[in-house]
Chain A
Amino acid sequence: MEEVVIDAKDMHYKELNEKIHEVLRKNPDVKKIILKNVLGQRFIGTGLQKKDLTIEIYGIPGGDLGMFMNGPTIIVHGNAEFAPGNTMDDGTIVIYGSSGDVTAHSMRGGKVFVRGDVGYRSGIHMKAYKDKIPVLVIGGRAKDFLGEYMAGGIIIVLNIDEKGNDLGKVKGRMIGTGIHGGAIYIRGDVDRDQLGVAADIKEFTKEDLEKIKPYIEEFCKWFNLSEDVKNRLLNSKWTKIAPISKRPFGKLYTPDLM
């Protein structure tokens, strides 16, 4: 059996998640699990390790979707609650609606695509290690403190509405507060006074465009955006926000030997 459907109606989160584990135990070959009538159940996909598995969710999953996940793809046909992709190692989360605060919190690898907006403190403490570069692509906008304490990875804000039209200048404040690794790419202009401490606006180069291009293409593919929209996104003005230093608070403390 390659595809299994679970009706999550009125199901407690523990029961639903246990069902998913049971399906995986009984059918090691399962490629797709479809969850119907999901309503706030938390921790879906938490800790799952299977690379060739897709979980499709119809409804609204609860917090910590795909936490500590390593490999699977989760597609949400609806909004998601807070912290999807929390401390995720690898895999892909695709959200057709918007997601809550701390989206992609401490994510270490994999990709999160959100078609709509994300809440406060998204991408917080995202970190990279060797070949693991986490990526968060936001279709709409992010609330304040985007990429706070960011230690690695890539955050891309496309700044478009559901039809693909420009949303105008981003309004988020305190962007990249305490950032000491990785980079935030925002389509359009960002003022310096929108940045948090330790963040800086850097020149957006050709290399940067090459770096973000595959993720924008993948975003357009997931959400079925036209070639026109894709080309407009790629040919827009981008602002790159990156750390001033790898050691933002290095000078705050007494030197070793005085």
Chain B
Amino acid sequence: MIPSYVPPKYKVEVDPNKCMLCERCTIECSWGVHRREGDRIISYSNRCGACHRCVAMCPRDAITIKENAISWRSHPLWDIDARADIYNQAKTGCILLSGMGNAKEHPIYFDKIVLDACQVTNPSIDPLREPMELRTYIGKKPKQLEFDFVEEEIDGKKIKKAKLKTKIAPNLKLDTPIMIAHMSYGALSLNAHLSFAKAVKECGTFMGTGEGGLPKPLYPYADHIITQVASGRFGVNEEYLMKGAAIEIKIGQGAKPGIGGHLPGEKVTAEISATRMIPEGSDAISPAPHHDIYSIEDLAQLVRSLKEATRWKKPVFVKIAAVHNAPAIAVGIATSDADAVVIDGYRGGTGAAPKVFRDHVGIPIEMAIAAVDQRLREEGLRNEISIIASGGIRCSADVFKAIALGADAVYIGTAAMVALGCRVCGRCYTGLCAWGIATQKPELVKRLDPEVGAKRVANLIKAWTHEIKELLGAAGINSIESLRGNRDRLRGVGLNEKELEVLGIKAAGE
């Protein structure tokens, strides 16, 4: 066997003066870091991913995890990660896997954008007293409304009544512009999905199934669920399509633009197999392209086939990764009968992606929203289709900025998982998540109580919703509709002229 040359990334220490040898840490750590030997706990630091499960559960606060301060010869180009990756690949000859979103230090444009607030001349609004309209409708909107005027007799009087002639396409009604992103059953545990489902129902919003099908225990929440159709077509049948409130076609994903998904066979348990409708233990491969889509016209065909299968009663979204030609693709999507385009930025998370893709492919979501919104406006199509942004939304300010840049609503993925306890350790792909979120191991899954999880996620959505209302009030706006694409409410700090141009915003002070 070729030995690993990589020293542990973290150093785990159990203070023997505090430890009472309850062995809780040995049970809690799914990675096998802790073991009792005689009258002390021995820790194998090289297995630790800093998921904090043992720290959080230790009754004596005896465990410390630090970054391993071992010295490497410092070098501006050959940083520790670059060298560690080479050691690992020299050992295995394999593609490096990773979880979560892009972990490189690219600029975070959300943090270089500041918001506007009203002062004396244009007064702010107090959301504690005044109603704030956050209701958002996702779906196709007519270009204009047409009416028929019908004369009716009421109490002997002839009255002309207006009747809407224009057929309104089905839309999703959101009480808050925050939805939970598509994360598959398979990547996530059933209890994580149940937590999300209960939370979105409580908050009047929606969650996505991801490409893993819809597990039966989620059926009661189906009217708050958007089902996904990916290239593998796992779990996709007429019942699945009819169950959800809307359908999303996954073309691309922010964490891995241009490549498909792959759930390894050993993770296809009996329950996953039943939901995805594939045999147990068999690889679940979603190849990079949809096999029936080789052009924008083919995409339109898939959109229409899903509409046909659901008798034109469900909105159909198309999700693409944020890449430099996203605006042109969005135009194609807008003309294809799709109801919304979902753009997923390169900070978007995943259960498993080749590290090289996660860290190097795609563009920031901020730029992509602005560019797509701008292009759709230029083409005269923006009114007809909704934009949903996802990938790296961390707080209510990010939601607010995303909407001001041009989105109708956002999807949150990692943030919703963090609400459940996720530490963003990035090892989802191992299926050993000690918090019971990204795992299928029954003993780990049961660590996550769906009732508690739902409360935490609902609290997060509600807290952000309150903050968005406050921000709206401060901006002197009382409706989210008035914020959409309202880039005059944004200013850039520390951005160059080109970046300001792409974002379509002015510099601070202008």
Residue among A17, A47, A247 with most chain B CB within 10 A: A47
Could you tell me the distance in whole angstroms from the C-beta of B86 to the nearest C-beta in chain A? 13
- Nearest CB of A to B187, in Å: 15
Interface positions of A from 144 to 203, Cβ below 8 Å from B: 148-149, 151-152, 178, 180-181
B82 to chain A, nearest CB (A): 16
Asked whether any CB of chain A lies closer than 8 Å to the CB of B292, the reply is yes
Complex-state Cα separation, A149 to B260, whole angstroms: 12
Q: Which listed residue (A42, A89, A178, A256) contacts B237, Cβ 8 A?
A: A89
Q: What CA separation (Å) do A247 and B282 show in the bound complex?
A: 7
Give residues of chain B (56-112) contacting chain A, Cβ–Cβ below 8 Å: 88, 91-92, 94-97
Contacts of B278 in A (CB 8 A): 127-129, 151-152, 181
Q: Do A248 and B304 form a contact, CB below 8 Å, given A105-B291, A108-B237, A253-B94?
A: no
Does B264 reach chain A (CB closer than 8 Å)? Answer: yes
Contacts of A247 on B, CB cut-off 8 Å? 264-265, 283
Stretch at the interface among A79-87, A205-213, A219-227: A79-87
Provide the residues of chain B in CB contact with A63, threshold 8 Å.
301, 305
Q: Given the complex, which residues of B lie within 8 Å of A93, measured CB to CB?
A: none
Contact with B along A117-132 (1 / 0, CB 8 A): 0000100110111001
Q: Which of A238-254 contact B (CB under 8 A)?
A: 246-254
B169 at the interface (CB under 8 A from A): no
Residues of A within 8 A of B273 (CB): 129
Question: B96 contacts A254, CB within 8 Å?
Answer: yes
Complex CA distance for A19 and B305, rounded to whole angstroms:
16
Q: Are A106 and B233 in contact (CB under 8 A)?
A: yes
Task: Please measure, in the bound complex, the distance between the C-alpha atom of A180 and the C-alpha atom of B496, giving whole angstroms.
Answer: 50
Docked complex Cα distance between A82 and B264 (Å): 30
B47 within 8 A of A: yes
User: Are A248 and B283 in contact (CB-based, < 8 A)?
Assistant: yes
- Identify which of B31, B231, B233, B238 contacts A257 (C-beta below 8 A): B31
* A254 x B88 contact (CB < 8 A): yes
Residues of B within 8 A of A42 (CB): 301, 304-305, 308
Contact of A46 among B231, B262, B308 (CB under 8 A): B308
| Complex partner residue of A102 from B88, B96, B292, B304, CB under 8 angstroms | B292
Q: Out of B47, B92, B305, which one reaches A43, CB within 8 Å?
A: B305
Task: Return chain A residues, CB-CB under 8 Å to B129.
Answer: none
Judged by a CB distance under 8 angstroms, whether A21 is at the interface is: yes
Which size class do B's interface residues fall under? 35 or more
Q: Which of B394-433 contact A (CB under 8 A)?
A: 429-432
A68, A128, A180 interface centre (most CB from chain B within 10 Å): A68
Q: Mark B421-462, 1 if CB is under 8 A from A, else 0.
A: 000000001111000000000000000000000000000000
Interchain CB contact under 8 A, A87 and B92: no
Q: A68-B238, A87-B233 are in contact. Are A181 and B292 (CB under 8 A)?
A: no
Q: Which residue of A lies closest to B47 (CB)?
A: A257
Give the A-B pair count, Cβ closer than 8 A: 136
Query: How many Å from the CB of A221 to the closest CB on chain B?
Result: 28
- In the bound assembly, the distance between CA atoms of A92 and B360 in angstroms comes to 46
Q: Is the CB of B430 within 8 A of A17?
A: no
Nearest chain A CB to B252 CB, angstrom units? 18
Which residues of chain A come closer than 8 Å to B277, judged between CB atoms? 108, 127, 129, 132
Check if B310 sits within 8 Å of A246, measured CB to CB.
Answer: no
Across-interface contacts of B309 in A (CB, < 8 A): 43, 46-47, 67-68
Query: Are A67 and B305 neighbours in the complex by a CB distance under 8 Å?
Result: yes
A70 contacts the other chain (CB 8 A): yes
Q: Tell me whether B291 and A68 are in contact (CB under 8 A).
A: no
Q: Does B311 contact A (CB under 8 A)?
A: yes
Chain A positions within 8 Å of B283 at CB level: 151, 180, 246-250
CA distance A125 to B277 in the complex (A): 13
Answer yes or no: B505 CB below 8 A from chain A CBs. Answer: no
The CA-CA distance from A257 to B432 in the complex, in Å, is: 10
Taking a contact as CB atoms under 8 Å apart, the answer to whether A252 and B238 are in contact is: no
Q: Is B4 interfacial (CB 8 A cutoff)? A: yes
Residues in A with CB closer than 8 Å to B352 are 253
Give the residue among A42, A102, A105, A258 with the most B Cβ atoms within 10 A: A258
Q: Hey, what's the 0/1 contact readout for B120-162 against A, CB within 8 Å counting as 1?
A: 0000000000000000000000000000000000000000000
A179 CB to closest chain B CB (Å) equals 10
Kindly state whether residue B232 has any CB partner on chain A within 8 Å.
Answer: yes
Closest chain A CB from B230 CB (angstroms): 11
The reply to whether A251 and B305 form a contact with Cβ atoms under 8 Å apart is no
Pick the contact of B285: A64, A82, A86, A249 (CB < 8 A): A249
Which residues does chain A contribute within 8 Å of B282, judged by CB atoms? Answer: 151-152, 180-181, 246
CB distance from B290 to the nearest CB of A (A): 9
Establish whether residues A258 and B4, one from each chain, have CB atoms under 8 Å apart when the complex forms: yes
Q: Please name all residues of chain B whose beta carbon is closer than 8 Å to the beta carbon of A14 when the two chains form the complex.
A: 308, 312
Residues of A within 8 A of B494 (CB): none
Q: Which residues of A contact B265 (CB under 8 A)?
A: 246-247, 250
**Interface contact A102-B97, CB-CB below 8 Å:** no
Per-position contact with A for B217-243: 1 when CB-CB < 8 Å, else 0? 000000000000001110011100100
From 1 to 23 in chain B, residues with beta carbon under 8 angstroms from any chain A beta carbon are: 4, 6
Task: Confirm or deny: B281 has a beta carbon within 8 angstroms of a beta carbon on chain A.
Answer: yes
Closest CB-CB distance, B186 to chain A, in whole Å? 15
Answer yes or no: B287 CB below 8 A from chain A CBs. Answer: yes
Q: Are B4 and A68 in contact (CB under 8 A)?
A: no
Task: A256 to B281: give the CA distance in the assembly, Å.
Answer: 17
How far, in Å, is B12 (CB) from chain A's closest CB?
15
Provide the bound-state CA to CA distance between A251 and B94, in Å: 7
Are A49 and B238 closer than 8 Å at their CB atoms? yes
Whether B279 is near chain A, meaning CB under 8 Å from some CB there, is yes
Is A255 interfacial (CB-CB < 8 Å)? yes
B96 and chain A: residue at smallest CB distance: A254
Interface positions of B (Cβ within 8 A of A) = 4, 6, 31, 47, 88, 91-92, 94-97, 231-233, 236-238, 241, 262, 264-265, 273, 277-279, 281-283, 285, 287, 291-292, 301, 304-305, 308-312, 352, 354, 429-432
Q: Given known contacts A68-B237, A86-B292, A127-B277, what 10 new A-B pairs fall within 8 Å (CB)?
A: A42-B305, A64-B301, A105-B292, A149-B285, A151-B285, A180-B282, A252-B94, A253-B94, A256-B430, A258-B88
8 closest Cβ contacts across the A-B interface?
A: A47-B309, A106-B233, A43-B308, A129-B277, A256-B430, A124-B291, A254-B94, A64-B305
Chain A residues with CB under 8 Å of chain B are: 13-14, 17, 21, 42-43, 46-47, 49, 63-64, 67-68, 70, 82-83, 86-87, 89, 102, 105-106, 108, 121, 124-125, 127-129, 132, 148-149, 151-152, 178, 180-181, 246-258
